[in-house]
């Protein structure tokens, strides 16, 4: 069970204490948070009386999430990546297409593999059975260090897709 968004009206410690109570009562096997920033993760882990197993955040090759990823690692949290296909933008990417051609893989599979190699668990969404199979095909190949470095160069400002009104001040 994850807290979907931090709520500015509720102190983080209160939210986390409630979440920990849910776990202790057996209603959730594991608990975690989504869309938390570095400072929020520091505060949440300090308040938590149960392990926070996971952080869910937006991740794709265009978005630099270095700071919050480092914080999640520091706190021993698994990272789940949403929008891992940048909401369908990756198929048109020339770099992902080129890397894909070298492996007989699609740009979507390369994007997912890139995240997996970074120890991020991507959760791509599709309404199409054939794409579900395609996306699972990210699990059976490896990217070279040079390919990883080339894809890491794709980050660019303004590439965050999900930032609703209730979003926190993101780590730059």
Ligand X SMILES: NC(=O)c1ccc[n+]([C@@H]2O[C@H](COP(=O)([O-])OP(=O)(O)OC[C@H]3O[C@@H](n4cnc5c(N)ncnc54)[C@H](OP(=O)(O)O)[C@@H]3O)[C@@H](O)[C@H]2O)c1
Strand partners, 34: 56
Interface residue list for ligand X (CB under 6 A):
4, 34-35, 56, 82-88, 91, 108, 123-128, 131, 134-135, 162
Task: Identify which of residues 130 and 145 has a Cβ nearer to ligand X in the complex.
Answer: 130
Q: Looking at beta carbons only, is 121 or 123 nearer to ligand X?
A: 123
Comparing CA positions, the residue from 91, 29, 30 lying closest to residue 56 is: 30
Buried b or exposed e, range 117-150, using 16+ CB within 10 angstroms:
bbebebebeeeeeeeeebbebbeeeebeeebeeb
| Min dist. Cβ of residue 109 to ligand X (A) | 7
For ligand X, the closer CB: 37 or 56: 56
State the minimum distance, in angstroms, from the CB of residue 69 to ligand X.
16
Least separation in angstroms between CB 144 and ligand X? 22
Task: State the distance between the two ends of the chain, measured CA to CA, in whole angstroms.
Answer: 27
Task: Map tokens 């776990």 to a residue.
Answer: 23
Residue with Cβ nearer ligand X (76 or 88): 88
Minimum Å distance from CB 74 to ligand X? 21
């Amino acid at each position: 069970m994850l807290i979907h968004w931090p709520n500015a009206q509720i102190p983080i410690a209160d939210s986390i204490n409630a979440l920990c109570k849910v776990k202790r009562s057996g209603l959730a096997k594991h608990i975690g948070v989504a869309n938390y920033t570095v400072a929020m993760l520091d505060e949440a882990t300090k308040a938590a009386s149960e392990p926070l197993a996971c952080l869910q955040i937006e991740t794709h090759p265009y978005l630099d999430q270095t700071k919050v990823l480092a914080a999640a690692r520091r706190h021993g949290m698994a990272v789940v990546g949403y929008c891992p296909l940048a909401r369908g933008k990756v198929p048109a990417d020339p770099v992902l297409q080129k890397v894909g051609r070298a492996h007989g893989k699609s740009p979507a599979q390369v994007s997912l593999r890139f995240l997996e190699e970074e120890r991020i668990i991507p959760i791509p969404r599709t309404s199409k059975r054939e794409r579900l199979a395609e996306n699972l095909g990210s699990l059976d190949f490896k990217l070279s260090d040079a390919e990883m470095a080339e894809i890491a160069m794709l980050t660019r400002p303004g590439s965050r897709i999900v930032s609703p009104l209730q979003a926190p001040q993101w780590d730059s």
